[in-house]
Amino acid sequence: MTGIVWVTGNCWLYCRRSGLPVMWVGTAQSVGVYAPLYAPLYACEQCLAELSAMVWQHVQRRDSSALQHQSAP
């Protein structure tokens, strides 16, 4: 992939390690007392692979569900 910028930092996903190459993957939103709170979400290569697998499974399930609806009478 091109255009990916790796920086040294903390992984916000599953491993929670620090001081390793991480990539910005989006903005995390949390519920604050008065307003939503936002923070940049970074992930390491290992956790990105796991996240990608989960996204792939989600897409396959969604596509499978769509096919079942299309074939229904």
Q: Answer yes or no whether residue 23 interacts with Zn ion by CB under 5 A.
A: no
Q: Report the nearest approach of Zn ion to the CB of residue 49 (Å).
A: 10
Residues 29-68 that bind Zn ion (CB under 5 A): 44, 47
* Cα–Cα dist 51/47, whole Å: 6
Q: Answer yes or no whether residue 15 interacts with Zn ion by CB under 5 A.
A: yes
Count residues contacting Zn ion (CB under 5 A)? Answer: 5
Contacts of 39 (CB under 8 A, 6+ apart): 27, 28, 30
Q: Report the nearest approach of Zn ion to the CB of residue 42 (Å).
A: 9
